[in-house]
Amino acid sequence: MKLLVINGPNLNMLGIREPNVYGKTTYLELESFIKGICVQEDIQVEVMQSNHEGVIVDTIQAAYQVFDGIVINPAAFTHTSIAILDALKAVGIPTVEVHLSNIYEREEFRHISYISNYCIKTIYGEGIQGYQKAIMLLKETVSS
């Protein structure tokens, strides 16, 4: 299985940005956590982060017929990006959406997720453990 993990804007600031909301884990620690799970599960993984919507759209399009699953934390683009939603629909790759915080217990504008319209599941409020759940769900989905 080949998995793509996409992280959206400001996730490169993990450990610095609002640790009371996002925790103290740094982005490098998150990447290491994801790669460690994938090694244990015999999954090939590529992890990327971008603050730019177009780069994320290009990355999703480039994943077509290359990756078996996508884990995406679109961050703020969750609530605004129909372009990312359309890119996911276009490639048709099974996708799980992850959010570190519980977006439904935060500001009302964070309750809207365009991305979830395509995803198998949205996992939120579980910190970095949410990525592990997403990876395991995709492994199960792709294997069945």
Task: Answer with the residue of higher pLDDT: 21 or 67.
Answer: 67
Provide mean pLDDT across the span 70-84. 96
Task: Return the pLDDT at 106.
Answer: 81
Give the tens place of pLDDT for each residue, 85-119. Answer: 999 999 999 999 999 998 888 889 888 899 999 99
Give the tens place of pLDDT for each residue, 121-137. Answer: 999 999 999 999 999 99
Alpha carbon distance 57, 53 (integer Å): 6
- Residue 88 parent element (H or E): helix 82-91
pTM of the model as a whole: 0.93
Q: In what order do the strands lie in the sheet containing 2-7?
A: 44-49, 2-7, 69-73, 95-99, 121-124
Instruction: Take residue 91 and report the two structure tokens written for it.
Output: 């490639």
Residue 126 main-chain phi, psi, to 5 deg: -115, 15
Give the tens place of pLDDT for each residue, 22-65. Answer: 788 999 999 999 999 999 999 999 999 999 999 999 999 999 99
Task: Return the pLDDT at 47.
Answer: 98
Positions annotated as catalytic residues are 22, 99
